[in-house]
Chains A and B, each alone.
Chain A
C-alpha cells in the first residue's frame, strides 16, 4: 500500500482518503475489512501531512525577454 501511495500526488491521496470515508458511509461497508481500511486512512493522513510539509515550490524566471518582439 505505502509503495503505491508514494507514486501518487497529494491530490490523489486526498481523493483516496475521501473514498475511504465514503466506503465507511456506504453500502459496501463490511466490519471484517473495516479495521484495515481504518489503518489505511490513518496512514494516508500521515503521508499527506508529510508530503505537504516537505514539498517546496519550484519557481523559475523564464529567460525570454519581453521588451521586444524577438
Chain B
C-alpha cells in the first residue's frame, strides 16, 4: 500500500487526532526540570526520568501548587504535536507526589500566601459563641463527619446544620469544596459559621487541603470559617488560613458549640449564687437592724443614767433645803408676832416651846 501524501499541516492534524483517540488523557510521573513562567500567564517545564524527558505546557491557572525544579509530580495531560513540530504534554492538572515533593509544594505555597498576609492574626474573625445556623462541608460518608455530628448532638441542641456533601480527597475534591464554599456564601441567609472537616489520612490525602484555589476560597469566605482536618499533628494551609483552626473534626464540634451540661451546671450555679446573695443580704439587714436596736437601747440607757444622776443631785439639793435638817443642826423655828406680850412658838428639832415676848429691839 502506498503511503498517503499529506501536507505538513494535515500531518500535524492527523497525528493529533490519532493521539487524541489513543490517549485522550495521560497521567505521567516524573521530575520537574527547566521550570519557567512566561509573561505570568504560561508555564513550561520538562518532565524527566532516568532515560527520557518530555516538554510540558500549561496556563498558570492550572497550577494549583507552586512547582520547583527537582520536584516529583504526576501530570494529567493531553499529548499534542504543535504547529512548530514540538511534542508537548498540555497540562490539565499537576500534583506533587512523594513526601519530599508534597512538603516542598506545601512550603512554597505557604511562603507565597504568608507574603500576601493570608495567615495574619488580624484577619482572623471570631466565631459566634452559640451559633444558630452553620454550614458544613464534608464527605457525609467519612468517619470524621460522623464524629463531628455525634459530638455536636451530645453537646448542644437547636442548631440548624446544612451539610454540603463533597469529596475530601482526590483530584476533584478541591473544586467541589470551592463550589460548596461559594454556594454557602451566595445564600441570601448565610450560615453564621462555615465548617470544613476531614478525618486523618496520608500526607497525599491531606494535600487536597493545600490546594491554592481552595485555600484562597477559604480566605475569601464572607462567612467565618472553622477548619478541622486530620489529626492534631497535621497542619494544612486550609486550616492555617481559616479563622479558627480545629485539631480534628471532633475538636471542631467542641469549638463550635458549648457543652449543654456545662451550661446547665453554670445556670444552676448562678441560681445558687443568687440564693446565697439573698441570704447574705437578709443576714446583713438583720445584723444592721440588730446593731441599730442595740445602739438605740444604749442611747436610751445613757439618757436614763444621766437623768437619774441629775435627779440624785437635785435630791441632795432639796434635802439640804429641808427645814427639818436645819432644826437638826440646832436651829429653831419661831412663829408668832414680834411684839411685847405676844406669845411665840419656838420649834426645835425635838420640842415645841411656847413663850412670851418680853422685849423687842432693833439690831
- Evaluate contact between B183 and A24: CB separation under 8 angstroms: no
- Evaluate contact between B267 and A14: CB separation under 8 angstroms: yes
Question: Is B153 on the interface with A (CB-CB < 8 A)?
Answer: yes
> In the complex, which of the residues A45, A49, A67 contacts B176, with contact meaning CB atoms closer than 8 Å?
A67
Question: Is B277 on the interface with A (CB-CB < 8 A)?
Answer: yes
Known contacts A17-B267, A67-B176, A57 near B161 by CB under 8 Å: yes
- Evaluate contact between B159 and A49: CB separation under 8 angstroms: no
Residues of A within 8 A of B278 (CB): 24, 34-35, 38
- Evaluate contact between B164 and A64: CB separation under 8 angstroms: yes
Residues of A within 8 A of B153 (CB): 56-57
> In the complex, which of the residues B157, B166, B179, B271 contacts A56, with contact meaning CB atoms closer than 8 Å?
B157
B-contacting residues, A33-52, CB 8 Å = 34-35, 37-38, 41-42, 44-45, 48-49, 51-52
Question: Is A7 on the interface with B (CB-CB < 8 A)?
Answer: no
> In the complex, which of the residues B158, B162, B267 contacts A60, with contact meaning CB atoms closer than 8 Å?
B162
- Determine chain A's interface SS by DSSP, over half rule: helix
Question: Is B333 on the interface with A (CB-CB < 8 A)?
Answer: no
Distance of B228 from chain A, by nearest CB (Å): 17
Residues of B within 8 A of A56 (CB): 153, 157-158
Task: Give bound CA distance, A24 to B281, whole Å.
Answer: 9
Residues of A within 8 A of B157 (CB): 51-52, 54-57
> In the complex, which of the residues B164, B180, B274, B282 contacts A41, with contact meaning CB atoms closer than 8 Å?
B274
Known contacts A14-B267, A57-B159, A38 near B179 by CB under 8 Å: no
> In the complex, which of the residues B164, B166, B274 contacts A21, with contact meaning CB atoms closer than 8 Å?
B274
The A/B interface has a contact count, at CB < 8 Å, of 112
- Evaluate contact between B163 and A67: CB separation under 8 angstroms: no
Distance of A64 from chain B, by nearest CB (Å): 6
Q: Mark B271-304, 1 if CB is under 8 A from A, else 0.
A: 1011101100110010000000000000000000
- Evaluate contact between A62 and B274: CB separation under 8 angstroms: no
> In the complex, which of the residues A38, A44, A59 contacts B275, with contact meaning CB atoms closer than 8 Å?
A38
What residue in chain A is nearest B285 (Cβ atoms)? A31
Residues of A within 8 A of B312 (CB): none
Task: Give bound CA distance, A3 to B38, whole Å.
Answer: 70
Residues of B within 8 A of A61 (CB): 140, 163-165
Residues of B within 8 A of A48 (CB): 263-264, 267
- Evaluate contact between A24 and B180: CB separation under 8 angstroms: no
What residue in chain A is nearest B179 (Cβ atoms)? A66
In the complex, which of the residues B157, B161, B179, B267 has the most CB atoms of chain A within 10 Å of its own CB atom?
Answer: B267
- B side interface size, CB within 8 A: 40
Question: Is A2 on the interface with B (CB-CB < 8 A)?
Answer: no
Question: Is A27 on the interface with B (CB-CB < 8 A)?
Answer: no
A-contacting residues, B154-211, CB 8 Å = 156-167, 172, 176-177, 179-180, 183
Known contacts A10-B158, A34-B281, A62-B163, A52 near B264 by CB under 8 Å: yes
Task: Give bound CA distance, A33 to B105, whole Å.
Answer: 68
Residues of B within 8 A of A11 (CB): 129-130
Task: Give bound CA distance, A31 to B289, whole Å.
Answer: 13
Q: Mark B250-276, 1 if CB is under 8 A from A, else 0.
A: 000000000010011001101101110
Residues of B within 8 A of A66 (CB): 164-166, 176-177, 179-180, 183
- Evaluate contact between B271 and A31: CB separation under 8 angstroms: no
Question: Is B152 on the interface with A (CB-CB < 8 A)?
Answer: yes
Task: Give bound CA distance, A63 to B268, whole Å.
Answer: 41
Distance of B282 from chain A, by nearest CB (Å): 7
Known contacts A53-B260, A69-B179, A44 near B163 by CB under 8 Å: no
What residue in chain B is nearest A20 (Cβ atoms)? B274
- Evaluate contact between B281 and A14: CB separation under 8 angstroms: no
A-B contacts, 17 of them at CB < 8 A, read: A10-B158, A11-B130, A17-B271, A24-B281, A31-B281, A34-B281, A41-B270, A45-B267, A51-B157, A52-B264, A57-B152, A57-B158, A57-B161, A58-B161, A61-B163, A64-B164, A66-B165
Task: Known A-B contacts: A42-B274, A60-B161. Give 8 more (CB < 8 A).
Answer: A21-B274, A42-B275, A51-B158, A53-B260, A61-B140, A62-B163, A66-B176, A67-B176
